[in-house]
Amino acid sequence: MPKTLRNAFEKALTYENLMKAHLKCQRGKTARANVIKFNLKKEEYISWLYDSIKSKTYEHSGYTTFYVTEPKLRQIQASSYKDRIVHRWCVDNFLDKTFTPCFIENSYACIKGKGMHKAALDVQKGMKECKKKYGEYYILKMDVAKYFPSIDRQILMKIIKRKIKDKDVLWILEKIIYYKGMGKGLPIGNLTSQILANVYLNEVDQYIKHNLRIRYYYRYMDDSVILLKDKKDLKNVKENIEKFLDEKLKLKFNSKTNIFKSKQGVNFCGYMINEYRMKLRNKGKKRLKHKVKDLKLKIKKGEISSIQAKRYLCGYFGYMKYANVYNLRQKIFKNET
């Protein structure tokens, strides 16, 4: 277990570290207008950013709001480029090294070497073990209602202060977290929001693993799964978790939270999973079919090349890699005209 973070701010606040943060932020985005503009005078901008943090005059610029529709309608709040550099600097120098080692093994979101595919495969592995040990068992699928907008910032800061004792680090984190006052919600899309959302739900992770002593528990951000032999015991577990979420974190489950028989499988990380098969969810298949049809039409019109089309589908190929999709591949890529 890592020690509390002390006396880290001054060591981390260097021109070189801020430049490293910039170089990481611009990966894959060097053609964007805001990045091009920053790079024209990057030495000056980094020096200004260093001075503003050093003198405690730095202020967060707020966010530009837009919406995405896949996989579902979400409001995204994009920070300015200079703020993204500060976010990256905070994550690399303070948040990641302090909190990531504290996370349980079966927490998967936004953690290097893990991710949604490993989460799905580990759930399937746990299901196989339960099938072998118990025969029939039960699955609790949990989903937090409106997770990012529901995070209480004051509770989050109290959690952070248990591990971070450096007052200057706390100052910069408060500038980011309290960007709209002391209320609720973290912006979806920020690098800091991703790790802080994990920090927040790590509280319930620790409760489930150490107080409830649940072995087969898996979480990918606000979606989680528990496997247990007895349905009555699982109902009690669900009630205890609901109480903990409400009293300690001011969160609630949404209507999709339910208990299922093992033979029904579980929807998790974009897959329909049982002990022996992992299928794409119907929504995922529908999006893939629509995307392929749209790309084929654009190829026929000469708007894009087949090589460009394959690049657009890279994410889907990674998604399909872990699923049983032979028939789907044949239908979409061979037979469709």
Q: How confident is the model at residue 336 (pLDDT cuts 50, 70, 90)?
A: very low
For residue 213, is pLDDT > 80? yes
- The pLDDT of residue 88 is 97
Mean pLDDT of 278-283: 71
Segment 231-247, tens digit of pLDDT:
999 999 999 999 999 99
For residue 51, is pLDDT > 90? yes
Distance between CA atoms of residues 298 and 290, nearest Å: 12
Look at 43 and 335; give whichever has higher pLDDT.
Answer: 43
Q: If you search the block for the tokens 């690049």, which residue do you land on?
A: 311
Mean pLDDT of 300-317: 65
Q: Count how many Cα atoms sit within 13 Å of the Cα of residue 204 in the half-sphere of its side chain.
A: 35
pTM for the full predicted model: 0.84
- The pLDDT of residue 1 is 45
Peptide bond into 71 cis (omega under 30): yes
| Best CA proximity match to 156, nearest among 104, 105, 193, 206 | 193
- Listed in sequence order, the DSSP H helices in 207-325 are 231-244, 282-301, 306-312, 314-321
- The pLDDT of residue 236 is 97
Backbone torsions φ then ψ of 175, nearest 5 degrees: -60, -35
Question: Could you tell me if 108 and 220 are in contact, meaning their C-beta atoms sit under 8 angstroms apart?
Answer: yes
- The pLDDT of residue 101 is 94
Specify the DSSP element, H or E, that contains 138: strand 138-143
| Best CA proximity match to 58, nearest among 83, 23, 33, 41 | 83
Segment 141-174, tens digit of pLDDT:
999 999 999 999 999 999 999 999 999 999 999 9
For residue 337, is pLDDT > 50? no
Q: What percentage of the chain reaches a pLDDT higher than 70?
A: 82
Residue 75, C-beta contacts closer than 8 angstroms, at least 6 positions apart: 65, 66, 67, 188
Distance between CA atoms of residues 208 and 97, nearest Å: 23
Residue 171, C-beta contacts closer than 8 angstroms, at least 6 positions apart: 56
